[in-house]
Amino acid sequence: MTADRTALVQQAFRLEYLTLAWMVVEATVAIGSGLAARSITLLAFGIDSLIELASAVVLIWRLTVELRHGEAFAEHAEHTASRIGGALLLALSLYVVIAAAWSLWTGRGQEFSWPGLLVAIVAIPIMWVLSRRKLRLADALGSRALRTDAVEGIACGWLSFVVVVGLFVQLALGAWWVDAVTSLALVWLLVREGREAWEGEDDDD
């Protein structure tokens, strides 16, 4: 492995460790506030944080394989990491659809949550910066697994935005159905990227 590629892999390591640290905070606050407020969007946000944690661990494993054994030995790890990331994205999309449908069927909405709102607001710029840097590194390394991880970060950032919008609309209008409807806004992205990662498709961009 060349010195330039080693430096890129080390940069990816740093981004994944930063992701781990933030996701511990994000998952704890989002899930706790989601349970307290009975919010599908906040719970989906928190579960997405756990998925991000799992994805970061998988990426650290994949990068470790490359550092220890070289690029050629990392191909199997790359494929495995990409499929795991795709499966996690598809699992999250399924949860969102089922939870939203249940909320609309039962007519039960969320309660307003200040902790959930604050963590979602802070998450938006953090996930934007991390995801942009991961995408650049994914292109440089030719790593679908790292791109999938970056897309999960993008999804997390958009889900943060959805949480913020949903909570503000719910606070202003008291509309019980807002949480369920806004939680569905990201399903198309999760399914598309999850399928591509699972199948190992190349980017057309």
Torsion of CA 193, 198, 203, 205, to 10 degrees: -10
Asked if residues 53 and 23 have their Cβ atoms less than 8 Å apart, the reply is yes
Q: How confident is the model at residue 11 (pLDDT cuts 50, 70, 90)?
A: very high
**Residue 203 clears pLDDT 50, i.e. is over it:** no
SS (H, E, C) the chain: CCHHHHHHHHHHHHHHHHHHHHHHHHHHHHHHHHHHHCCHHHHHHHHHHHHHHHHHHHHHHHHHHHHHHCCCCHHHHHHHHHHHHHHHHHHHHHHHHHHHHHHHHHCCCCCCCHHHHHHHHHHHHHHHHHHHHHHHHHHHHCCHHHHHHHHHHHHHHHHHHHHHHHHHHHHHHCCCCHHHHHHHHHHHHHHHHHHHHHHCCCCCC
**Residue 202 clears pLDDT 90, i.e. is over it:** no
How much is the pLDDT for 205?
Answer: 40
How much is the pLDDT for 14?
Answer: 93
Per-residue model confidence as pLDDT tens digits over 53-69:
888 888 888 888 877 87
Number of alpha carbons in the 13 Å side-chain half-sphere of residue 117? 12
Cα gap 137→140, rounded to integer Å: 5
How much is the pLDDT for 204?
Answer: 40
Torsion of CA 158, 162, 168, 169, to 10 degrees: 150
Q: Which amino acid is at 3?
A: A
Question: The tokens of 40 are what?
Answer: 């599908």
User: Domains in the chain, start-ordered, CATH in brackets?
Assistant: 3-196 (1.20.1510.10)
How much is the pLDDT for 15?
Answer: 94
Among 92, 93, 117, 133, residue whose Cα is nearest residue 39: 117
**Stretch 46-57: mean pLDDT:** 84
